[in-house]
Amino acid sequence: MIKLEYFNQDDFHQLKSWVTSPEFNVQWSGDYFQFPLEDEQLSKYIKGVNTPESNTYIFKVIDIESGTSIGHIALSKIDRKHLSARVGKVLVGDPSYRGKGIGEQMIREVLHFAFDQLQLHRVCLGVFDFNEGAIACYEKAGFQKEGLLRDYRKVGQEYWSIWEMSILEDEWRSQKAEI
The pLDDT of residue 179 is above 80 = no
Identify the pLDDT of residue 40. Answer: 97
100's enclosing H/E stretch is: none
**Mean pLDDT value across the chain:** 96
**Strand 84-92 and strand 69-79: pairing?**
antiparallel
Give the Å distances, CA to CA, from 150 to 46, 114, 139, 161. Answer: 31, 28, 20, 5
The pLDDT of residue 29 is above 70 = yes
The pLDDT of residue 132 is above 90 = yes
Model pTM score: 0.95
pLDDT bucket at 37, cuts 50 / 70 / 90: very high
Identify the pLDDT of residue 107. Answer: 98
